[in-house]
Amino acid sequence: MAVSAVIFYNEGEELIKMKHETKQRLLSTVLLLIYLALLTWIVLFKLSLSLDELPNMRNLNLIPYGASSIVNGRIDMKEIIYNVLIFIPLGLLLSMVMPKRGFMTKLFLVFAISVSFETMQYVWSIGGSDITDVINNTLGGLGGLILYDLLELIFRNKTRLNKVLNFLGVVLGIVSITFLGYMLWLN
């Protein structure tokens, strides 16, 4: 009788844990979709609120850190840093949404998303397509993947880590959406 009570208690704990993890993964998925929408607005639409504001240009640079990243004879470090930073959340969110996928699979997804953005810019003539951007975006995603693994070592509990990251994601999402609303209000 006591053994069956312990087994029932353990099964109940596991069920509660699974429900909590499912809710966290659902929230992470929603945050990933919001992030991808904002990333699309930033990368493809250059924060424009109208299609008329988009540049009408088609440029392709296949030389890493070549002419497109040089401004006034110097490498534009600001753009490089922005491209790395903007993709760090992608690595974090992919780690949360796809915990059973391997590191290289998630890194390939980051790379594929970056290549997709650069390809769409070229096809739609809405900006310069640049291998430097692909490299820096992929480095940012790599940084997010590594950061997640490091945080997992610190937290020692994926559920708690995901809960903290989801909370931060919700706060940043609210700030981003508020900023978007403010931008729309100004126009």
What are the residue boundaries of the structural domains of the chain, listed by start?
A: 1-186
Identify the weakest region by mean pLDDT among 11-15, 145-149, 152-156, 183-187: 11-15
- Residue 40 tokens read as 């699309």
Identify the weakest region by mean pLDDT among 18-22, 60-64, 150-154, 172-176: 18-22
Identify the weakest region by mean pLDDT among 4-18, 29-43, 60-74, 113-127: 4-18
Q: Rounded distance, CA 165 to CA 13, Å?
A: 23
State pTM to two decimals.
Answer: 0.83
Give me the amino acid identity at 94.
L
Residue 55 falls in which region: left (phi positive, over 0), alpha (psi -120 to 50) or beta: beta
pLDDT of 159 over the 50 cut: yes
**Residue 127: phi, psi to the nearest 5?**
155, 175
Residue 127 falls in which region: left (phi positive, over 0), alpha (psi -120 to 50) or beta: left
Give me the amino acid identity at 103.
F
pLDDT digits (tens, 9 = 90+) for 24-59: 899 999 999 999 998 998 888 877 767 777 777 788
- Residue 76 tokens read as 């534009």
